[in-house]
Amino acid sequence: MLVVDIPFNKPYMTGKELWYISQAHANGHLSGNGLFAKKCCAWLEQRIGSRKALLTNSCTAALERAALLAGVEAGDEVIMPSYTFVSTANAFVLRGATPVFVDIRPDTLNIDETKIEQAITTRTKAIVPVHYAGVGCEMDAIMDIARRHNLLVIEDAAQGIIATYKGRPLGSIGHMAALSFHETKNIISGEGGALLINDPHFVERAEIVWEKWTNRSQFFRGQVDKYTWVDLGSSYLPGEILAAFLWAQMEEADAITKRRLDLWATYHQWFASLEKKEKLRRPIIPRECVHNAHMYYLLLPSLELRTAFIDQLRAQGIHAVFHYVPLHSAPFGQTMGRADGDMSNTVSASERLVRLPLWLGLEEHLTTVIAEAVASVH
């Protein structure tokens, strides 16, 4: 019997990563903000249209930095979905804030913008929409709520690179945004991320928070004659080796996205008939969103059927996985945060969603994966 072993994720490398790393090595600048880092930041600023892009060691670090810049402090509340990764909440809990969780929409599994306003109190400081699976949240409605209540919007665009909402790149709409280049994402550097600043008001402090609490960036530009401790911050700069790796990926970002979209579309087409028979639900992409094929997921009718589906695929050597455990019911989430209103869509997605393998190179196994997946739906 032919035994396959198809992982859930396999990091894709373009082939140029080591060449650019050798250039960084030869250039002799290995700390942060070198030539490759500058290329990456310029690419992000140009592609996303942010006022300023600053690389970080992870999306987690970018969110923590955004929380610092936003001036989030003890007693503040930050509204976000519960159906997200821990870092979305933890970045704000680190500053002493309370995450206030609201339910997600049943279609996109993004924060339900109609539930945000009722969660606002006099302590609310910010809203953190998470663009799940690279599909944009209802940003017009969210920005309107933020404007009316004088709140900041920090997009968690960890999964959102190159995707758009109403023609605007994800990460360009809120006051700030965070991207991830973790090896499970579309564009990778192992660990890695970026903070995007769209509100010009945050640009100067963003550099200070990034550069170990100092105005070193201004010093290097000749704007001040010495650099010194001027604010609260941390060390968030990745070194040049990581940036060199990332640059190889950015150069091929469009080609990578295209191949992912092709894989996604093949999955989508093959599961259409099972959706018609109400055996599962496929992802829904609203008309105003162009997604980036970060993820292909299915929603099965129940937790039991999902467990059986994952087990059956695993027995065939194919690794499909479930996703977030809701933060409002996690032990630390219960202590540090609170749920506002009914969370039934969150609980339902958490129990029923399964992610299928999606990585460049899967093309040659895709027929097998789809055949086994179809056979595992009951």
158 counts as binding ligand PLP under rule CB under 6 A: yes
Chosen residue from 54, 69, 111, 130 binding ligand PLP by CB under 6 A: 130
C-alpha dihedral, 34 to 37 to 43 to 44, nearest 10°: -140
Q: Which is nearer to ligand PLP, 87 or 172 (CB)?
A: 87
Chosen residue from 48, 59, 151, 195 binding ligand PLP by CB under 6 A: 59
**Token match 């094929």: residue?**
293
198 counts as binding ligand PLP under rule CB under 6 A: no
Strand partners, 56: 193
Cβ neighbours for 267, distance < 8 A, ≥ 6 positions apart: 296, 356, 358, 366, 370
249 counts as binding ligand PLP under rule CB under 6 A: no
Closest approach of ligand PLP to the CB of residue 254, in Å: 22
328 counts as binding ligand PLP under rule CB under 6 A: no
Q: Which is nearer to ligand PLP, 105 or 216 (CB)?
A: 105
Chosen residue from 81, 174, 193, 337 binding ligand PLP by CB under 6 A: 193
Cα 129 → chain centroid: 10
291 counts as binding ligand PLP under rule CB under 6 A: no
Cβ neighbours for 123, distance < 8 A, ≥ 6 positions apart: 75, 76, 77, 98
Interactions with ligand PLP, residue window 81-100 (CB under 6 A)? 84-85, 87-88
Q: Which stretch binds ligand PLP (CB under 6 A): 97-105, 140-148, 152-160, 204-212?
A: 152-160
Closest approach of ligand PLP to the CB of residue 276, in Å: 31
What is each CA distance from 58 to 192, 237, 284, 332, in whole angstroms? Answer: 4, 10, 28, 22
Strand partners, 52: 197
Task: Report how far residue 362's alpha carbon sits from residue 370's, in angstroms, rounded to the nearest whole number.
Answer: 11
Task: Report how far residue 359's alpha carbon sits from residue 362's, in angstroms, rounded to the nearest whole number.
Answer: 6
Residue type, 314: R
CB 351 within 8 A of CB 247: no
Chosen residue from 60, 198, 215, 376 binding ligand PLP by CB under 6 A: 60
What letter would DSSP give residue 301? Answer: S
159 counts as binding ligand PLP under rule CB under 6 A: yes
189 counts as binding ligand PLP under rule CB under 6 A: no
Q: Which stretch binds ligand PLP (CB under 6 A): 52-60, 96-104, 112-120, 306-314?
A: 52-60
Q: Which is nearer to ligand PLP, 108 or 217 (CB)?
A: 108
Residue type, 88: T
138 counts as binding ligand PLP under rule CB under 6 A: no
Q: Can you give the binding site for ligand PLP, defined by CB under 6 A? A: 58-60, 84-85, 87-88, 130, 156, 158-159, 180, 182, 193
